[in-house]
């Protein structure tokens, strides 16, 4: 597969991360394969027990850059479910709705889809160590895959303002965690200064990450028997994910697996919405100092904004932002559907609610929300939400004695009509 600059189209060396001529991000071209033949292969692999076939990434390996089987580090990533979302639908004013739950990945976020490819590639090249900047999920995914590959993992995280659950998980996987006085954007700026030839840089500026993440689009379509939804709604932070989904959909269409692509709606948090602004105003992206309680997407200078903007336009999509209270309330609704997710993921439902209200999305449309992270990724957020006065807060009931205890049990268990 051809690797070239996504800005100036100069052909790139596979060991680079950014274009040597203009500094732009690199991207792989589409694989040159027969659509009907790969469609048959993908279907056959549904009943296979080969670890590469049970992975929702490597199952589509003909559409990925070639990596030798021996080097592949896989943990059955992207074998994620699609759930129906009755309460989410009701909240948004939709007839029906579905969640593609990427939080059901091995480390609890969609990052595993890209990390399996980026770390496998680094492993194949014999790299000793990998590094990333992260708001927590990339860190956890990288640490886990590096542990499996026998590679050292170094993460740069903001010292304050990210979820402790994600950091704890990353420490468990054995990574070296370097906490900096600065935000995600500052951490990524440091990582971008490193020589990608001597350490594997596995942020989503790494084109192998995007190749893995585009498989979330294949998974979604494959699980729906290649029946295309009208809209896919994704949260936007550094914007690797929105660009990967767009690439996946376009490639599936080029192969004849589908005949149209879903429209992509990217939702940002209002305090971290430079992409929503550039979508509205045009021109160059103006970085902001990000501020949001959805810490996963607290990003002010998204690296992949140009790629993502091209995908949003190619899909006739939209970009909007929603405030932190709307995200909190939407997250609570997703919880009540028995699914749950972390705050950043719930920006999707908050955004959908707005897009239905303003008529952008029809209430009868076939919409899928990409839930990017598991509910347990940010337990401190959930705890403080339920201790708050929010409408959907579900306070712990402290019981003083047995009488009170039995009375409470009876009260909750009693049939509603009694
Ligand atoms: N949702 C979750 C749960 C995330 O962790 C992230 C990004 C996003 C959405 C946004 O995706 O950056 O591709 O637009 N988290 C990164 C991290 C930045 O370090 O874990 P994006």
Q: CA end-to-end span of the chain, whole Å? A: 66
77 in the Ramachandran plot: left (φ > 0), alpha (ψ -120 to 50) or beta?
beta
CA of 403 to the centre of ligand 1 (A): 47
Atom of ligand 1 nearest to the CA of 236: 14
348 pLDDT band (50/70/90 cuts)? very high
Averaged pLDDT for residues 28-54: 96
| Helical (H) or strand (E) element with 89 | helix 86-92
pLDDT of residue 320: 98
Atom of ligand 1 nearest to the CA of 203: 19
pLDDT of residue 277: 98
Averaged pLDDT for residues 183-194: 96
C-alpha 277/C-alpha 293 separation (Å) is 19
Burial group, residue 415, by CB count within 10 angstroms (0-12, 13-18, 19+)? exposed
Atom of ligand 1 nearest to the CA of 213: 13
73 token code pair: 């580090």
The candidate with the shortest Cα–Cα distance to 265, out of 329, 359, 355, 365, is: 355
What Rg, from alpha-carbon coordinates, does the chain have? 21
Q: Which protein residue's CA is at the shortest distance from atom 11 of ligand 1? A: 237
Q: Which protein residue's CA is at the shortest distance from atom 7 of ligand 1? A: 296
CA of 300 to the centre of ligand 1 (A): 12
pLDDT of residue 60: 98
How confident is the model over 73-83, as pLDDT tens digits? 999 999 999 99
Ligand 1, CB cutoff 6 Å, lining residues: 109, 111, 134-138, 204, 235-242, 296-297, 342, 344-345, 372-373
Mutation probe of ligand 1 site: the residue of 166, 238, 274, 305 with most atoms within 8 A of C-beta: 238
CA of 299 to the centre of ligand 1 (A): 9
Residues in the chain: 418
C-alpha 108/C-alpha 341 separation (Å) is 10
288 in the Ramachandran plot: left (φ > 0), alpha (ψ -120 to 50) or beta?
beta
User: How many of the other CB atoms lie within 10 Å of CB of 46?
Assistant: 10
pLDDT of residue 16: 83
- C-alpha 7 chain-centroid distance: 23
Phi, psi angle pair for 245, to nearest 5°: -60, -45
């Amino acid at each position: 597969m051809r690797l070239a600059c996504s800005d100036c189209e100069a052909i790139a060396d596979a060991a680079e991360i950014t274009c040597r001529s203009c500094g732009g991000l690199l991207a792989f071209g589409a694989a040159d394969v027969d659509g009907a033949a790969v469609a048959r292969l993908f279907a056959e692999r549904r009943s296979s027990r080969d670890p590469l076939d049970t992975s929702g990434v490597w199952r589509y390996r003909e559409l990925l850059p070639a990596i030798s089987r021996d080097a592949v580090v896989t943990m059955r990533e992207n074998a994620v479910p699609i759930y129906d979302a009755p309460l989410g639908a009701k909240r948004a004013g939709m007839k029906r709705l579905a969640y593609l739950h990427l939080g059901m990945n091995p480390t609890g976020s969609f990052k595993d889809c890209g990390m399996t490819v980026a770390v496998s590639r680094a492993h194949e090249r014999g790299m000793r160590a990998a590094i990333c900047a992260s708001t927590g999920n990339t860190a956890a995914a990288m640490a886990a895959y590096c542990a499996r590959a026998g590679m050292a993992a170094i993460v740069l995280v903001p010292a304050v303002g990210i979820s402790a659950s994600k950091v704890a998980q990353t420490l468990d996987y054995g990574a070296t965690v370097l906490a900096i006085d600065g935000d995600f954007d500052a951490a990524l700026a440091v990582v971008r200064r490193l020589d990608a030839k001597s350490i594997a840089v596995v942020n989503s500026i790494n084109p192998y990450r995007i190749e893995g993440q585009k498989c979330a689009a294949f998974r979604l379509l494959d699980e729906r028997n290649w029946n295309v939804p009208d809209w896919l709604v994704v949260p936007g932070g550094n914007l690797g994910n929105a660009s990967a989904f767009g690439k996946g959909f376009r490639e599936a269409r080029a192969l004849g697996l589908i005949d149209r692509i879903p429209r992509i709606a990217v939702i940002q948090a209002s305090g971290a919405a430079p992409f929503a602004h550039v979508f509205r105003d045009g021109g160059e992206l103006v970085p902001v100092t990000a501020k949001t309680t959805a810490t996963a997407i607290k990003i002010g200078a998204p690296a992949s904004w140009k790629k993502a903007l091209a995908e949003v336009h190619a899909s006739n999509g939209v970009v909007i932002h929603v405030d932190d209270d709307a995200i909190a309330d939407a997250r609570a609704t997703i919880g009540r559907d028995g699914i749950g997710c972390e705050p950043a993921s719930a920006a999707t439902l908050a955004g959908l609610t707005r897009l239905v209200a303003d008529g952008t999305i029809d209430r009868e449309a076939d919409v899928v929300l990409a839930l990017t992270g598991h509910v347990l990724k940010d337990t401190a957020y959930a705890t403080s939400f339920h201790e708050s006065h929010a409408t959907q807060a579900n306070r712990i009931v402290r019981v003083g004695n047995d009488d009170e205890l039995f009375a409470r049990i009876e009260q909750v268990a009693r049939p509603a009509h009694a």
